[in-house]
Amino acid sequence: MTSTDRNSASGPADQPGVARAPIRTFHPRRGRLSGRHVDALDRLGPAFRLPVPEDPATTAATDPNPATTDPTAAAATAPDPATAPDPVAEPVDLPALFGRRAPVVLEIGSGMGEATAAMAAADPDRDYLAAEVHTPGIANLLAMIDRRGLTNVRVADGDALVLLRLLPPASLAAIHLFFPDPWPKTRHHKRRLIQPGNVALLRDRLEPDGRLLCATDSHDYANAMRETLTADPELVNAYAGFAPRPDDRPVTKFERRALAARRPVFDLVFVRKGAGPVGGDRSGQGRIDRR
């Protein structure tokens, strides 16, 4: 693991001779599972779920309340070890995972899965790999895969940054980062996913002309993302500034909340440099091919 693959933490890890622990870009959360969700994990997990190994350096350093975790809640969220696949510990073979060769879209933070399922259903020629850490969200997406008969979705259970390190370079047609945690407090900005080192990793996994699409309702984070992405020498903004809202991006609960609160939503589309020119109206007023 290189220094560009992870951010450094503050506190005891800053002491000389003490290794710095990577910083999680998400809140570890627990939630109870319904019977339908337990069934989805047990029945569909082996075929559609890709457990991602825990980064051991983050476990002790970032568990919010290790001594106060409710054992009943933990038991309610834990999948059956007899049916859960073993975590991936080697590079991911995407054609083997999906059973075909097709462009792959990585959805980082799929939440309860409604947007991922909708996009995959409308885009059957591409495969969707949804990365999520919240067990009820993983289970809900598995249930939707079953209900809608989707064959082009797989669910990666774990930290998206760890998953990215297991994916081959230039293996993704697109990466979606819709409404990530903005970490609004200044002291928490280091936890934002869009950081220079993380952007280098994201860009490396995109194929030439592959696209990174971001959306947020945080004006501060939107400007920070645009600045950081613009600074990457191998990424090009498909627009002169923020992009118009993609027609094919489903409205999520986070976007509905933003609109209800009259907060504007900011979209960004960046393209990894390739052989040809970046398509689209660079004035920011037109539409582009959104892969």
* Active-site entry in 181, 209, 232, 281: 181
Of the candidates 38, 52, 250, the residue with the CA atom closest to the CA atom of residue 136: 38
**What b/e sequence results for 70-105 when a residue is b if at least 16 CB atoms lie within 10 Å of its CB, and e otherwise?**
eeeeeebbebeeeebeeebeeebebeebbeeeebbb
45: β partners: none
- Kindly state the DSSP code that residue 125 receives in the 8-state scheme: T
Query: CA 70 to CA 39: how far, in whole Å?
Result: 22
In the annotation, is 181 catalytic?
yes
Give the residue numbers marked as catalytic. 181
